[in-house]
Chains A and B, each alone.
Chain A
Amino acid sequence: MKPGDFEFVSQLVRERAGIVLSADKAYLVESRLAPIARKEGMASIDDVVAAIRLRRDSRMIETVVDAMTTNETFFFRDKTPFEILETNVLPELVARKRGGTLRIWCAAASTGQEPYSIAMVADAMGPRLAGTKIEILATDLSERCLEKAKAGTYTQFEVQRGLPVQMLLKHFTKAGDSWNISPTLKGQVRYRAMNLLDDFRALGRFDAIFCRNVLIYFDLPTKKRILDRMAMQVEDPGFLFLGAAETVLGVTDAFKPVSGFRGLYARDTARIGARFAA
């Protein structure tokens, strides 16, 4: 990469997505931009950067920012959050709602494994939902990921990461070498592009938010701003799930850890109910 180009790209990605690329990530920029150069028929990644630096090519900006996101995900990632969702959070929310619709926001949905895992949990609850409908809104910055998520088509490798075989049999069909998620589950998840740096109030209010393994890429003030704004979008008692390497401690007081339940936070821990007595 030309001198200055790494700084330019990392500045761009930070401004547009909040993602912090430390100085040792030049190799990452190179390896993510090389396929773009190839696809665009450009000689090298210097041309990709030039298209942005000199022409402010907005499609190229989007492509580069998208390419710099890390989309690693798998079904039922870390397992525990989904067990807590099934045994504690959903029963609590169902008891509060008594019918009606529960809204869950999956705020960094990547290629769909997380929102579909939530949908599978909801399905497994069956009569325990007491007629409550579950609506899942899945958002991500990456259009590329959202396309795949919407298609609901996974490779043999992907359906073997975290997904119990019973769930595979129950919710997937095979087409050639790929596995397609059932129309029923697909129908439970709505997808929308959303940058967490932007104003997300228009998404409405939610009964629980999954914001897992995305805050780790942001700096502290950005994490805080996002969590503080999420606290305004979530109904009592304000359930939030974070990734295993993430916490609100030292970031914000808007959410507090629910003690004894790893990865679960709430705005109002005093009002989470007896199901959470540690």
Chain B
Amino acid sequence: MKTCLVVDDSRVIRKVARRILEDLSFAVDEAEDGAQALAQCRTTMPDAILLDWNMPVMNGIDFLRALRADPGGQKPVVVFCTTENDITSIAEAIQSGANEYIMKPFDSEIVQSKFAEVGLC
């Protein structure tokens, strides 16, 4: 079973994402911000990360840069999932090492389509 870490400060979003990802046969873990996520990745690297941008403590883009600099941090497929929907943000995310990008609001079809795009399902 593939693992996916859902990183979002909203409990509601984490719950919705968890349900969609479990339907896609992922084992799901959750983190509330970038710092928590980084700590979890340093224990066990997930196969995929669904990543919000704006979060307290450490935001998504800082988390991503730190992750990609870590040993083994190249491995997870990172899909941003955020309300940031301007071209500059999307380009910045991709340059910082994101594999795909979801603009909120999202539904299961978009998640599935984006995960398929990066070879996750």
Cβ of B100 and Cβ of A164 under 8 Å apart? yes
Cβ of A169 and Cβ of B91 under 8 Å apart? yes
Query: With A156-B85, A169-B87 as given contacts, are A161 and B94 in contact (CB-CB < 8 Å)?
Result: no
Cβ of A160 and Cβ of B114 under 8 Å apart? yes
Q: Does A91 contact B (CB under 8 A)?
A: no
CA A162 to CA B116, docked complex, whole Å: 9
Q: Does A165 contact B (CB under 8 A)?
A: yes
Which residue, of A156, A161, A165, A173, has the highest number of chain B Cβ atoms within 10 A? A165
Inside 8 A of B103's CB, which chain A residues have their CB?
156, 160
Inside 8 A of B101's CB, which chain A residues have their CB?
165, 168
Q: Does A174 contact B (CB under 8 A)?
A: yes
Cβ of A164 and Cβ of B86 under 8 Å apart? no
Query: With A166-B94, A169-B94 as given contacts, are A161 and B113 in contact (CB-CB < 8 Å)?
Result: yes
A173-184 toward B: CB 8 Å interface, digit per residue (1/0)? 110000000000
Interface residues of B in 54-101 (CB under 8 A from A): 85-87, 90-91, 94, 100-101
Cβ of A160 and Cβ of B113 under 8 Å apart? yes
Query: With A156-B85, A156-B103 as given contacts, are A165 and B113 in contact (CB-CB < 8 Å)?
Result: no
- Please count how many residues in chain A sit with their CB below 8 Å of the partner chain's CB atoms: 14
CA A95 to CA B91, docked complex, whole Å: 36
Q: Does B39 contact A (CB under 8 A)?
A: no
Q: Does B121 contact A (CB under 8 A)?
A: no
CA A74 to CA B2, docked complex, whole Å: 27
Cβ of B113 and Cβ of A168 under 8 Å apart? no
Cβ of B102 and Cβ of A160 under 8 Å apart? yes
Interface residues of B in 107-121 (CB under 8 A from A): 109-110, 113-114, 116-117
Cβ of B113 and Cβ of A162 under 8 Å apart? yes
CA A157 to CA B113, docked complex, whole Å: 11
CA A162 to CA B91, docked complex, whole Å: 18
CA A160 to CA B114, docked complex, whole Å: 8
A79 nearest CB neighbor, chain B only: B116
CA A157 to CA B91, docked complex, whole Å: 18
User: 6 additional contacts, CB 8 Å, given A157-B110, A162-B113?
Assistant: A74-B113, A161-B110, A166-B94, A168-B101, A174-B86, A174-B87
6 intermolecular pairs with C-beta atoms under 8 Å apart: A79-B116, A160-B110, A162-B113, A164-B100, A165-B90, A165-B117
Q: Chain B residues in contact with chain A, CB under 8 A?
A: 85-87, 90-91, 94, 100-103, 106, 109-110, 113-114, 116-117
